[in-house]
Structure formats: C-alpha cells, structure tokens
Chain A
Amino acid sequence: MPAGPRRRALVNGPPLARVEIDRAPDGRVRVVVAGEIDLSNAAEIEERLNDSVRAGEVVLLDLRAVEYLDSQGVRVINDLALRREREGFELSVIAPADSVAGEVLRLADLGELLTEP
C-alpha cells in the first residue's frame, strides 16, 4: 500500500492513547488508560493490558481519562474481563456513568464490570 508522506507523519505522531501501569508490592496493580481507543490502536492497547496482568493480582483499571472509546475498545475491555477466571486475577474497572468510557460500556451492556469508586 502507498506510504505517502502524510501517512508516515500520522504514524509517527503522538500516540492516541497512553497506558500507565503502577504495580504495588502487595500485588495490587493500577492501570490507567488515557486518550482515544479506536480501530487503529485497539490491538496495541490490548497487548499492553495483557502484559500488565498476572495471576493472583488485583487489577484496578482506571478508564476515567479515556476521551474516545468505541466498539473496538469495548471488545478489549470485555476480553480482559473474560480472562479473569481463567487466569486467576481480580479486575475492577473504574469508569463513572458520566465519563466517556462509562457511558459506552453501559450502552454496550457491560455495566456489571464497573466498580463504583
């Protein structure tokens, strides 16, 4: 496919989303996602999240700083939730109803994942 200058600039530009992982010594992990998740970066975000969780940990996924989330992001969150029991970690998702992610996850009937802070 053509790789014109315009496209190269986009790829090399600032990332749409950031993922920060803060691992406490007691096995609690805080993962903060900020920015936008769409088709262009969902796979990348998913990879970061998968790397961040380990068996036996308690994971707190903070989505309050997410500015855009569509079905691609919903799929990533849902897949992570589905892996909880199989891989033995606990997951709490923080996304209040008035946040962007919170609304979309509720529209997608995944409200039960959410932990009210």
Chain B
Amino acid sequence: MTEAVELAIPPSHEYLDLARMVVTTAAALDPMFPDGRVSDLRLAVSEACTNAIDAQQRLDRDESVVVRCSLAEDRVSVEIEDHGGGFTIDAVPSLPEIDDPDRMRHEHGLGVELIRSVADEVVFEEVDGGTIVRLVVFR
C-alpha cells in the first residue's frame, strides 16, 4: 500500500527543519526502514528544499515550496516542487577532486553531489516556471 504526505512550506530557510522532520517521521513509520537510510533521506530532501528556496528567493517568488512524500513497501519517494524559474542539471559545475588544491577554493556547490550520493534515484525535471526534483530512497 502506498501512503502519501504533502507539505507546503514558505520559501524560507527557517522551514527546512520542518520539511526534514515531516519526511523523516513519515519514513520512520516503517520500523524496518534503517536509521542510516532515514538519515540519507533527510539530507537529500534538505538539500533539494534548500535549492528550491534559494531559487525562489533569487526571483523573489513567494509561492510555497511543495514536498510530497510517498511511502511504499520498499522505498520512500519524495517530490520537491518549486517556482524558482527552472534548473538545468547539466549546468551544475563539478568540483575538483579533494586532493586538488583548487578544491579548497570551493565552499559551495556540493548540494547536487550530495543528493546524488545519498538518494538511490534522482530526477531533475524542469516544469513551467520551476523545477520538480524526484528522489527515491530504498529501504
């Protein structure tokens, strides 16, 4: 059976903790969902929501960022939808390797890399005036 939770948050960083809490609490309803995977889910959702909020703030858009969480037997699927003008994943530059001295010049830009590292499936979809990030974490 698939159960779903939906949360709409104002585009402000102060609501990130709420988004993290709702999604991880939903995932933890399944006692078989490992704590480590819940941590991965929390990070992936937080990063995606941060990007969504930042995108909307850059455009001064005040629509809610919507987080939809679906629980299935073996996975948690989350969609994060924003009105931040769209996002081209191919345009995200990759960072130098950690042993490259240039790496220390980069204090930002790890968000997408982290999402891809901890989520099992990630899709970035540009929609009308915004982006939907779809991610899946398997049990």
Q: Do A and B bind each other?
A: no
